[in-house]
Structure 1
Amino acid sequence: MTLQKRIWDLLVLAIFIFAAVFATAPWFAFRALKAAAQYEDVQALGELVDFPVVRRSLTGQLDEEAPAAKPEAPSLWTNPMGVFKRALEPIAPPEPKVDRYLTLQGLSALTRGYAPGAAPPPAARPETVLGRMQAVVRGPYPTIAYWDPNRVRIAVRRPDDKAKATIFTFQRRELFTWKLVHIRLPADER
């Protein structure tokens, strides 16, 4: 083999490895999210989840009174009485229904396929190699619902009802850095 052929082979191998790592990075981000929630690693969750964006998306799903598109605020020039009326209304934040989803226990339950508060305690880690392999074979299995170079959706089906799925949307922030930006809940939880 010539030196030029070896360099070409190394270049092709490097491109293949780069493509494989690039394509599987969101899967590893989901696994890291699941492990961080399970082991209560707050620092890792802070790096993996864009909390303000996820909170906004969950609030829109959980608030029954929220209109699909918010009406435009009244203008002083078109509706002066509306402006004064809005200024005098008491400002009361809505009750936070989202908080149970964004806690360590809530995220851990969602990544395991359960609703927050409905998840059984995680099983103890098996001691034997065979037990660990059987734990890996058991579900639920997250599946890729959508993949493109900048956004990936990973679906986790409920163990008790396969028709219900929670979908996690990850967005690429840097070359190999992915962040959770949206959680879509099953229709009956919204």
Structure 2
Amino acid sequence: MNARAARDIDLGRAVFRLIVTLIVGTALAFAAAPFFAFRAVQAAARDGDGHALSQLVDYPAVRQGLRDQVGTEPVAAPAPPDIWTDPVGAVKRAIEPIVPTPRSVEPYLSASGLYALSRGYAPSAAPAGDEGRRPPRLRYWDPNRARFLARPRGEKDPAKSVVFTFERRDWFTWKLVQIRLPEHP
């Protein structure tokens, strides 16, 4: 074999290794993106960065989920009227005012409230010395949705964890769409 053929084989192997490395790196970045989104929400909430939080959190979806968990009065949503079976009811529903969110939900959506929740605490119950250096525990992952558990320091019971649900919006873009609070006895 001559020197030129050996160089071509070495070049082919180098290109193959580069392509495999890029594919593996892209797959790892795709799989780790929800974890980075959780850490970004936690850091933006800790720093009070409202602009970053608006890009990382789907506030209407999170607010709706918290309304059912925190609201003082239970919200029973009847099935919306169909334009074909009840056209007057459908038009009436379209023009009636939107139900405001209960004030009890807003502390959970503030920057300090989100930071406390990301550490596993209620918005006003986070201790000052706990700075949230523990990584969240992955509860579920698929290509379009990921769930993380945030537990208070020393807590072993997963039922007392705050569950954060992230949804993929683009290849590497994830948004917080739901927060499930722990059950209180």
TM-score (norm 2): 0.78
Cross-structure match for 2:10:
2
Are positions 1:156 and 2:164 aligned together?
no
After superposition, the C-alpha distances for 1:124-143 in whole angstroms (9 at most, x for unaligned) are: 8xxxxxxxxxxxxx864311
1:100-138 residue CA offsets vs partner (Å, 9 max, x unmatched): 1000110010011211100122568xxxxxxxxxxxxx8
Partner residue of 1:108 out of 92, 98, 115:
115
Distance, in Å, in 2 between the alignment partners of 1:97 and 1:188 is 16
- Residue 22 of structure 1: SS of its match in structure 2? helix
- Find out whether 1:147 has 2:141 as its counterpart: yes
RMSD: 3.0
Check 1:19–1:104 CA distance in 2 against 1; reply closer, same or farther (3 A cut). Answer: same
Q: Quote the residue 1:98 is aligned against.
A: 105
Q: Could you tell me which amino acid in structure 1 is paired with residue 64 of structure 2?
A: R
Deviation at 1:187?
1.2
- Which range moves more in the overlay, 143-152 or 55-64? 55-64
Are 2:171 and 1:175 aligned? yes
Residue 2 of structure 1: how far off its partner (Å): 1.9
Code of the aligned partner of 1:143: R
4+ long deviations beyond 6 Å: none
Aligned to 1:16: 24
Of the three residues 37, 42, 49, the one matched with 2:50 is: 42
Flag the 1:96–1:160 CA change in 2: closer, same or farther, 3 A. Answer: farther
Cα drift, residue 61 of structure 1:
1.7
- Measured against aligned partners, the alpha-carbon deviations of 1:26-84 in whole angstroms (never above 9, x if no partner) come to 11111111110001111110110010110011112223643565355699x88x9x9xx
What is the letter of the counterpart of residue 44 of structure 2? A
Q: What TM-score, normalized to structure 1?
A: 0.76
The code of the aligned residue for 2:137 comes to: T
- Report if the CA contact (8 A) 1:114-1:159 is conserved: no
Please give the alpha-carbon distance, in whole angstroms, between the structure 1 residues aligned to 2:35 and 2:99.
Answer: 40
Aligned match of 2:93: none
Counterpart of 2:95? none
Q: Is the contact between residue 141 and residue 157 of structure 1 (CA under 8 Å) also seen in structure 2?
A: no
The letter for the 1-side match of 2:15 is I
Tell me, in whole angstroms, the C-alpha distance in 1 between the residues paired with 2:41 and 2:71: 26
Q: Map of 1:78-93 to 2, 5 A cutoff?
A: 93=100
